[in-house]
Structure 1
Amino acid sequence: MIWTIVIFLSLVSLLAVYSSTGSLAYRTQGGRTEYYLIKQLTVLALGILIIYFAHRVNYTIYSRVAQIGFIISIPLLIYTLAFGSNINDASRWIRLPVINLTFQTSDIAKLAIFMYVSRQLSKRQHVIQDFRKGFLPIIIPVGIICVLIMPANMSTALLLGASCMLLCFIGRVPVKFLLSMMALGIGLVVLLFLVAKLTGEKMRTETWEKRIESFMADDHAEAPYQVQQANIAIAGGGLFGKGPGNSEQRNFLPHPYSDFIYAIIIEEYGMFGAFLILAAYMILLLRSIRIYKNCPYAFGAFLALGLSVTLVIQALTNMAVNVHLFPVTGVTLPLVSMGGSSVLFTSLAIGIILSISRSVDEMEVKKAEQERIAKVVGENANAQVA
């Protein structure tokens, strides 16, 4: 089922990216509209290969590399803040010098912190009710990663923190501990705004403030330009849409191939297509919950659920932004939006989920075989006694 969802979202991505990058291709590639289609096809093909090889690896190995990944993430995030490439007024990317490829270090950090939290939750279940011995060793690394991501990418930091808190809640961490950390997190965000205002530092606080104010405004005319164009696209889509490649707002909507690709999908495929995309992510979550329930080992259960929850939360956030239920953010639609490193790290996360699923299936088959052998032995023994 998860493989089916991956293939479905990949096909949707190819159609939507090819349709929404026409204007971009004329501006940057001299009208070669197939350039971004081939690029996205290459990235998705590489992503599927990553999923396949990652799912063939025993998931317990990811527990061993969790701490190494966390330690590596910290200097990478610091380097990104200090020397990262500035794209769209945000320093989120590192440019590799030889191959001239950029990637977001927050993608590495997200994957590493989920493996780390899952490992710590599984190891500390016997002291999870203790704040100092059980909770602090888990939440401090989460706080470090979120604080390092926050200056350049507030939305990703908040989503990552919320996903980790939810995983901790599932891991039997007391609610009072989580509420105290939520209050501390809100305090840090407020402090960041105040420091930026008082010191006059050129941070993204002005952008965040404008986005929140425009979202809260009663007058639709005060909404950001991209939100207005997204609403026009959604209104024009109707029930079944205008058909593949017939979007009109792709020529007016900023970043229709990444942040606002869901609006283009609705315009071309209507509410029916929008529902299919939403259903795909919900099925992914339900299948991961099933893996969580069937996995006999805590690390695998927490990791499968944690990775799926963060992917689904990211997807729901992107959809909410597109339909103006959430302030504008830079969150993309996993496996659908055009991208490089984001698609590859999403593929790695899905590969890890499938690795856990494969292990659970193998254990269930082995258990069923043992029960069958025991039943046959018992019947033979009864026959001999008779």
Structure 2
Amino acid sequence: MNQVLSKTKGDRWIWLIVILLSVWSLLAVYSSTGTIAYKNDKSAEQYLIKHLVMIAGGLALMYFSHKLDYRYYGGISKVLMILTIPLLLYTLIFGNQVNEANRWVTIPVINQTFQTSDLAKLALITFLARTLTKKQERIKDVKQAFLPIMGSVSAVFILIALANLSTALMLFGVSILLLIIGRISIKQILIVCLAGAVLLTGVIFLGPRRKTYASRIEAYMHPEKADPDKSFQANQSKIAIATGGFLGKGPGNSTQRNFLPHPYSDFVYALIIEEYGLMGGIVLVIIYLVFLYRCILIVTASPKAFGALLAAGLSFSLTIQAFANMAVAVGLGPVTGVPLPLVSMGGTSILFTSVAFGIILSVSRDIEEKKNGGDPDEKKVVVGEIPAVG
């Protein structure tokens, strides 16, 4: 154990948070998959083992991501953006359709579904951090700085929003926060917001899922008038929370897992409150708040703009996603398909979330090394360029 700890660098609080969320995830997934296991003639242990494998794979990716100098990700971001746009377009046209939305593509050979928006989030945030850093001296230049930024944000937003509006809105919000931190002028930020509003209006009123969005908003705003089928998930989630009490029913004693359509992913927070009570729900909120606080310390301590922007963007993305999921579970927002980071059962979403945590830890590791005098073997790297290896 000491050997493992000696090889892990970066903020120890974030490592502890990752371990806590992973263990809680295993408990919640094992408890919540009994019904789906019965329906599919499988055992809950099979789902647990599969989820354990994904958690282990995520931890491995997090470890390797944190060992890589974060400045490498500046160069990688260009490749990711080149891949992301056509991949999102391919998903919209040829992706697997679930609940009237083409969000997934199937990876050949391993036959594993892959949600391309997970890659897009990572790609856009790293690309914006790199661009804002490299263009600081010409940040107000429309052609050199503003148009590439606005074009990338708008393209990713519209391609994700057509199938997954909630994810697109969160990513757009994170992008605006990065633009503010990156000293983009208020006028240019307002132009980006205006473009986003126009695209959002088009998606809501003209997009392929406009009826779904309208029904979900109607069910949220007027639940007493809504179709019972449309408000079923939200109602069952509220029942789970109401019956959980202060200390909960205990691990594995949930009853609403038999009624909630997705108690292991979209509504895992409702199941957690039912089993661990209001106290458990508050503890989970505090864990994500501590994570955000530790990331803010990393952002303020980072000597390089790229590291600060990278840590800020990824931490905001993960935290906003977490609170969006929890808000839906407690009835503070319309139903979405946003998972709870590192807690909800998932495949590639866990892996990409783990990479995001790893990149943040890489920035933290760099800060630690500089405080301790630096690594004598460390090579100087130009932000946005992949340094020579070896």
**2:15 alignment partner in structure 1:** 3
Which residue type is aligned with residue 39 of structure 2?
A: R
* Aligned position for 1:282: 289
Tell me the SS of whatever aligns to 1:366. coil
Structural RMSD (CA) = 1.6
Q: How far apart, in 2, do the equivalents of 1:311 and 1:288 lie? A: 11
Pick 1 or 2: higher relative contact order, CA cutoff 8 A, min separation 6.
2
* 1:48-127 pair list within 5 angstroms: 48-127=59-138
CA distance in 1, matches of 2:29, 2:225: 28
Which residue identity is paired with 2:185?
P
Output the CA distance in 1 between the equivalents of 2:17 and 2:130: 27
Superposition deviation, residue 221 in structure 1: 7.0
Partner residue in 1 for 2:380:
none
Shift of 1:126: 1.8
Report the number of matched residues. 361
- Which position in structure 1 is the counterpart of 2:364? 357
Q: Hey, what's the Cα distance between the residues in 2 that align with 1:335 and 1:78?
A: 27
| Contact preservation (8 Å) 2:296, 2:312 | yes
**Aligned match for 1:272, one of 279, 285, 290:** 279
Residue in 2 aligned with 1:248? 255
SS at match of 2:19: helix
Specify the structure having the higher radius of gyration (Cα): 1
Q: Deviation of residue 220 (structure 1)?
A: 8.0
- CA distances 1:274-307 after superposition (whole Å, capped 9, x unpaired): 1111111111111111111111111111001100
Q: How does 1:136-147 map to 2 (within 5 A)?
A: 136-147=147-158
Mapped contact 2:223–2:231 kept (Cα < 8 A): no
The answer for the alignment partner of 2:215 in structure 1 is: 210
Deviation at 1:63, TM superposition (A): 0.8
Hey, what's the Cα distance between the residues in 1 that align with 2:86 and 2:64?
28
Once residues 257 and 85 of structure 2 are traced to their aligned partners in structure 1, the CA distance between those partners, rounded to angstroms, is 38
In the TM superposition, residue 310 of structure 1 has moved relative to its aligned partner by 0.2
> Mind listing any 5+ residue stretches in structure 1 that lack a counterpart?
197-202, 370-386
User: What is the SS of the residue equivalent to 1:91?
Assistant: strand
The residue aligned with 1:32 is: 43
Distance 2:100 2:35 in 1: 22
Distance 2:204 2:276 in 1: 40
Structure 1 residue 218: deviation in Å?
Answer: 6.0
Task: Indicate whether 1:339 and 2:346 are aligned.
Answer: yes
Superposed CA offset, 1:207-228 (max 9, x none): 1110011111163876710000
TM-score (norm 2): 0.90
Distance in 2 (alpha carbons) for counterparts of 1:210 and 1:270: 31
Structure 1 CA distance for aligned equivalents of residues 299 and 167 of structure 2: 25
State the Cα distance separating 1:167 from its structure 2 match: 1.1
Q: For the residues of structure 1 that align with 2:206 and 2:329, how far apart are their CA atoms?
A: 31
C-alpha distance in 1 between matches for 2:249 and 2:116: 38
Distance 1:162 1:95 in 2: 29
Letter in 1 for 2:217: I
Other structure's SS at 2:373 match: helix
Q: Deviations over 1:155-196 (max 9, x none)?
A: 111111111111111111122322222222122222234435
Deviations 1:216-255 (A, max 9, x none): 1163876710000000000011111100000000000111
Alpha-carbon shift at residue 325 of structure 1 (Å) = 0.4
Equivalent position of 1:12 in the other structure: 24
> Which of 31, 34, 55 is the equivalent residue of 1:44?
55
SS at match of 1:325: coil
CA distance in 2 between partners of 1:192 and 1:112 (Å): 22
Aligned-partner Cα distance in 2 for 1:326–1:254? 18
Q: Counterpart of 2:309?
A: 302
Matched letter for residue 215 of structure 2:
K
Letter matched to residue 17 of structure 1? V
For residues 19 and 312 of structure 1, the distance between their equivalents in structure 2, rounded to whole angstroms, comes to 25
Question: Per-residue deviation at 1:112?
Answer: 0.8
CA–CA separation in structure 2 for the residues paired with 1:212 and 1:322: 15
Alignment-derived partner of residue 373 in structure 1: none
CA displacement at 1:204 relative to structure 2: 1.2
Secondary structure, counterpart of 2:50 in structure 1: helix
Match of 2:320 in 1: 313
Percent same amino acid at aligned positions? 51
Q: Secondary structure at the match of 2:113?
A: strand
Q: Which runs of 5+ in 2 are unaligned?
A: 1-12, 377-390
Structure 1's 141 and 221: CA in aligned 2 closer, same or farther, altered over 3 A? closer
2:178 to 167, 170, 186: 167
Counterpart position of 1:383: none
Q: 2:264 is matched with which residue?
A: 257
